[in-house]
Amino acid sequence: MAKQYDVIVIGAGPGGMTAALYASRSNLSVLMLDRGIYGGQMNNTAEIENYPGFKSILGPDLGQQMYDGATQFGAEYAYGNVSQVINDGLWKRVITDEETFEAKAIVIATGAEHRKLGVEGEETYSGRGVSYCAVCDGAFFKNRELVVVGGGDSAIEEGLYLTQLASKVTVIHRRDQLRAQQIIQKRAFANDKMNFVWDAQVEDILGDDMKVTGVKYVDKDTGEEHVVPASGAFIYVGIKPMTDSFKDLDILDDAGWIPTDDEMATRVPGVFAIGDVRAKNLRQITTAVGEGGQAGQSVFNYLQSLE
Ligand code: FAD
């Protein structure tokens, strides 16, 4: 028989670990499952300067501290790549590559992944000038020249955010016009610090072995190569929610995100979603943690309502 819990939290990033903390502290039996090491995206983050309580902390260190807190009231943690969740009404079956577990409530906290450009230098300089999050890393580049790659809402909004910190922001876009909403475009074109390179294919993120020094692109019309000198390259070519395993639950929106109400409840009773995987605007550790606390409490209320 499958092992049963009050709640299974899928994904042990900051959101999932906080949900596990709140639920286990309310005396619920909790299993956290993750297909990697606990900590989620924090494991790929060097310095975090915007998590309250710490002037600066390394991502993996914050992950370890959150894990110690999350498991202190009995929440279990296990390795498991969740491939499917089946809603049998009162019980939900959580299927991993090796095992099946059951719980009356599920918290989905599987996060999201920034799409990569796939060019030379991108991986080498990730965290050393290459970034996918202006709110996270912009402050490291005060009065420097930066490049933003992309032309959608995120690229232009984050580019505008960066103009408050950087001396110059050059947007490199592969088309001859932006895809961002008109109002955002208007703001961007009116901003003196914003520059645009059109019809350009980024080829290479250049560096001096330590950090980014520029971005090389090819002009798609002329075939000529150019370099924009920059200390940072912010890449916004899409972000993908980690929700393939939850398609059968019928809780995803058209783009694959999970909409919830203020209690973090999805449209399926007993299924909650938090953190980067939710349909929302700001994807940060603080927001994931806040939603995790809410979900832990919502799970408690949901289970009480079943009695
Ligand atoms: P995640 O942290 O994404 O964790 C999701 C977890 O779910 C992962 O451990 C994953 O292995 C697991 N998982 C996914 N699918 C499955 C599955 N099918 N089965 C089992 N497990 C699964 N935010 C800040 O606030 N400040 C910063 O300075 C900052 N810097 C960042 C720097 C980088 C390089 C990156 C990538 C992100 C940064 N962020 C920062 C964003 C922040 O890390 C995320 O917003 C936050 O981690 C989201 O938390 P989460 O709990 O929703 O999901």
pLDDT, one tens digit per residue, over 234-263 is 999 989 999 999 999 999 999 999 999 999
pLDDT of residue 307: 84
Active site residue 97: no
Active-site residue (options: 6, 137, 204, 209): 137
Active site residue 133: yes
Q: How far apart are CA 46 and CA 44, in angstroms?
A: 7
Q: Report pTM.
A: 0.89
Q: How far is the centre of ligand 1, averaged over its atoms, from the C-alpha of 45 (Å)?
A: 10
Q: How far is the centre of ligand 1, averaged over its atoms, from the C-alpha of 272 (Å)?
A: 17
Residue in 44, 95, 133 to alter for ligand 1 test, most ligand atoms within 8 A of Cβ? 133
Residue nearest to atom 18 of ligand 1 (CA): 82
Closest CA to 82 of 242, 303, 191, 223: 242
Residue 151: pLDDT band by 50, 70, 90 thresholds? very high
Closest CA to 131 of 159, 168, 173, 160: 159
Residue nearest to atom 34 of ligand 1 (CA): 45
Backbone angles phi, psi at 285, to 5 degrees: -65, -45
pLDDT of residue 121: 97
Ligand 1 atom at minimum distance from 83 CA: 18
Ligand 1 atom at minimum distance from 283 CA: 45
pLDDT tens by residue, 186-237: 999 999 999 999 999 999 999 999 999 999 999 999 999 999 999 999 999 9
The beta-strand segments (E) located in the chain are 3-10, 30-34, 47-48, 57-58, 76-79, 82-87, 92-96, 100-108, 112-114, 130-131, 145-149, 168-172, 194-197, 200-207, 212-219, 225-229, 232-235, 239-241, 271-273
User: Ligand 1 pocket: which residues have CB below 6 Å?
Assistant: 10-16, 33-36, 40-42, 44-45, 48, 50, 80-82, 109-111, 132-133, 136, 242, 245, 275-277, 283-286, 288
* Predicted confidence (pLDDT) at residue 44 exceeds the cutoff of 90: no
Residue 1: pLDDT band by 50, 70, 90 thresholds? confident
Q: Go through 241-271 and write b for each residue having 16 or more CB atoms within 10 A of its CB, e for each that does not.
A: bbbebbeebebbeeebbbebeeebbbebebb
Ligand 1 atom at minimum distance from 81 CA: 19
Cβ atoms of 251 and 260 closer than 8 Å: no
Q: How far is the centre of ligand 1, averaged over its atoms, from the C-alpha of 300 (Å)?
A: 24
Residue nearest to atom 52 of ligand 1 (CA): 275
